[in-house]
Amino acid sequence: MVAPARTSFPKSEISVLLLENIHASADELFGAAGEGWKIERASAALREGELIERIRDVHVLGIRSKTRVTPAVLNEARRLLAIGAFCIGTNQIACGAAAHAGVPVFNAPYSNTRSVAELVLAEIVFLARQLGDRIREVHGGRWRKVSAGCHEVRGKTLGIIGYGHIGTQVGVLAEAFGMRVLYFDIATKLAVGNVRPVPDLRALLASSDFVTLHVPETPQTQGMIGAAELAAMRPGAHLLNASRGTVVDVEALAAALRAGHLAGAAVDVFPEEPEGASDDFQSPLRGLGNVILTPHIGGSTEEAQENIGREVATSLTKFVNTGATTGAVNFPEIEMPSIPGTHRILNIHKNVPGVLRDINRIVSDLGANIRAQHLATDADIGYLVMDLDHDVSDDVKNAVAALPTNVRTRILY
Ligand code: NAI
């Protein structure tokens, strides 16, 4: 849903710069939510110097993974309201410096969930039927009909480690294939369908014919599957990793495959991945039988790109039009319903003691009638959204903006 538009200045003055061929679904959203926004596009990433030149009049910046938004860029971005990372990661953006400048950063971490889940299901069938090997053989002119060691997946047990967005979708699809599905997660999760939780990792490893990893990269998940865990898996089982490369010890995995303890593996992510297409890929898993290796393409589909365009553009328009920061990676999150007939003040301030006291004093001195107020803070900044009656809203906004703790203040009429 596109947020109802309010304005802090004429719509035609909002300037959007979209780099790196962001999907056209973003423009549709900007068109619907911010008719009149001036959208400029560039197909390539911009280098720091070029971006500094272009950023000065930009209110909304959209990038993908290649444009670096450095503190130097942010220094020049006097008008910038928000940044959209039309991708999953936000390492290319100086998110802390952006927060200090009062600029939230939005991304779309779950737009490719289904793409990953579908790939995993396809790989389970591929592994069960040794399809990678058969395809390679036939392409090489060898006609080797094999049924030994090849299985249906119906009735087999799939163990999901990390039952989050992707893990849950994998479970739904696997049940549709007639698999029995177990999961292990450190958080309590609502099981969908007939999927069942197991109390610990060892229980999952010992009970599964296929084990698939869908955990984030954290200190606890680094190396979570090593030689001991692989040994705890059923003989003839399969391991799938489309989460993060550091979660699995690939040397130990290669050893378990070579020893014949595991019957196959599908790996999409690696501890070290080449920077680009011209770089060599090295891995102890290369050349092993019934091992599917893919170049981190779990989430790479046109549908995911389209979802990313739509989701990030939605977050950006909602922030510009209502101040909502839900899903921002570097900002306290607030999404407050609009009260018709009020003006809304959005104030970003340094999170030091006494700010709310100062703001409340302004409100009380000016006799403003506050209809709704929400404050959220993190270690460095505070974000205050305040709906108030029309009469003195401009005076309140100006007085709040003049406080020494002010980072940015906007008013939406
Ligand atoms: P999510 O945050 O929705 O789910 C992760 C789940 O793992 C959560 O339920 C969490 O409680 C659980 N978890 C965290 N630490 C755990 C631990 N030590 N043991 C057991 N469970 C644990 O994340 P989502 O979207 O499902 O993504 C999962 C992974 O997939 C991430 O690592 C992400 O980077 C990766 N990914 C890979 C893609 C690819 O192209 N191959 C594309 C998209 C995501």
The answer to whether residues 61 and 88 belong to one domain is yes
The answer to whether residues 147 and 233 belong to one domain is yes
The answer to whether residues 257 and 370 belong to one domain is no
Mean pLDDT in consecutive groups of 10 residues from the start of the chain, 413 residues: 50 86 87 76 93 96 95 96 93 96 95 97 98 98 96 98 98 98 97 97 98 97 98 98 97 98 98 90 97 96 94 94 95 94 95 93 92 94 94 92 95 90
The answer to whether residues 286 and 377 belong to one domain is no
pLDDT of residue 34: 61
Considering 331, 349, 382, which residue would you say is the last residue of a domain?
331
Question: Which CATH number fits the domain that encloses residue 358?
Answer: 3.30.70.260
Question: Which CATH number fits the domain that encloses residue 124?
Answer: 3.40.50.720
pLDDT of residue 4: 45
Considering 312, 331, 350, which residue would you say is the last residue of a domain?
331
What's the gap between Cα 380 and its chain centre? 23
Query: What Å distances lie between residue 383 and 98, 179, 370, CA to CA?
Result: 14, 47, 16
The answer to whether residues 155 and 79 belong to one domain is no
pLDDT of residue 5: 46
Q: Which atom of ligand 1 is nearest to the CA of 217?
A: 32
Considering 293, 318, 346, which residue would you say is the last residue of a domain?
293
Query: What Å distances lie between residue 223 and 206, 210, 248, 252, CA to CA?
Result: 18, 19, 5, 10
Q: Whose CA is nearest to atom 39 of ligand 1?
A: 298
The answer to whether residues 156 and 243 belong to one domain is yes
What's the gap between Cα 338 and its chain centre? 27
In the chain, what is the greatest distance between 2 CA atoms, to the nearest angstrom?
87
The answer to whether residues 17 and 154 belong to one domain is no
The answer to whether residues 57 and 74 belong to one domain is yes
The answer to whether residues 216 and 179 belong to one domain is yes
Look up the domain containing 62 and give its range. 1-112+302-331
Query: What lines the ligand 1 site, CB under 6 Å?
Result: 110, 112-113, 116, 161-167, 184-187, 189, 214-218, 220-221, 242-244, 268-269, 296, 298-299
Q: In what order do the strands lie in the sheet with 82-85?
A: 38-41, 15-18, 60-63, 82-85, 105-106
Domain count of the fold of the chain: 3
CA dist., res. 266 & res. 13, Å (int): 50
The answer to whether residues 97 and 232 belong to one domain is no
The answer to whether residues 307 and 392 belong to one domain is no
**Residue 58 alpha carbon to ligand 1 centre in Å:** 34
The answer to whether residues 130 and 254 belong to one domain is yes
